[in-house]
Amino acid sequence: MMRARTIVGTTITAFSLVVVVTVLVINGTQVSSPPSTDDRVPEDLFWPWMYSCSVGTSLPLLNVSYDTEGRVDVSVGVLDPDAPYGTPLADENGDYVVDEGASRAVEECLSAHRFDIPPGSYREATAAERLLIYDWTVRWQAPCLEARDFGGPIPPFENFLDPHQVPWHLMSNRDWFSEEFDFDAALAARHACEPLPPFLAADGVGW
């Protein structure tokens, strides 16, 4: 989940994730025409999106940032051969060494979409709204995803009643890093099968 703008990032391989330092910040850049709404990546698919553009590399992500238009910028590092796996290589000044070619390749892949920048905060769902969200999940979201080949288990009913849990983002509950998937198909399914009733999403209910 990406509740904040600064998070822990990952070294992405075809089989596993190794934690390294990644900073997610908002930067301002020149304004250009944004893609359509259907091309924007919601926050619950951010890391699957990053993974889909990094398959085949085992290099650490040093920095991930996005601007006010949702364009994502990344810096991919070089692995230190003399340190534990996943450790980025640093120069004599202690600065991480950037692999410019790998960074450009990942950015080029990411440029097909924009990040759908989330609001600064969300409103907590009430107990009654949580019951409604469970009904929406069972009757709409889960069957909708199943019809698009992204079906999966629905979390237990009691999870929906727990104010400390947000189980209704079914797409984010998948183990994306142990399966092959078409990100464009996943994004289309996510847009078609909203995790919340539209009026609750519009009222600020989210994570």
Note whether 96 and 90 are within 8 A (CB): yes
Q: What is the pTM of this model?
A: 0.76
Q: Where are the chain's structural domains?
A: 9-115, 127-202
**Range ranked top by mean pLDDT from 2-6, 50-54, 59-63, 134-138:** 134-138
Token output for 85: 């796996």
Note whether 2 and 120 are within 8 A (CB): no
Averaged pLDDT for residues 177-194: 90
| Residue 4: pLDDT over 60 | no
Note whether 199 and 129 are within 8 A (CB): no
Q: What is the pLDDT of residue 124?
A: 92
Which among 160, 152, 110 is positioned nearest to 130, based on CA atoms?
160
| Residue 16: pLDDT over 60 | no
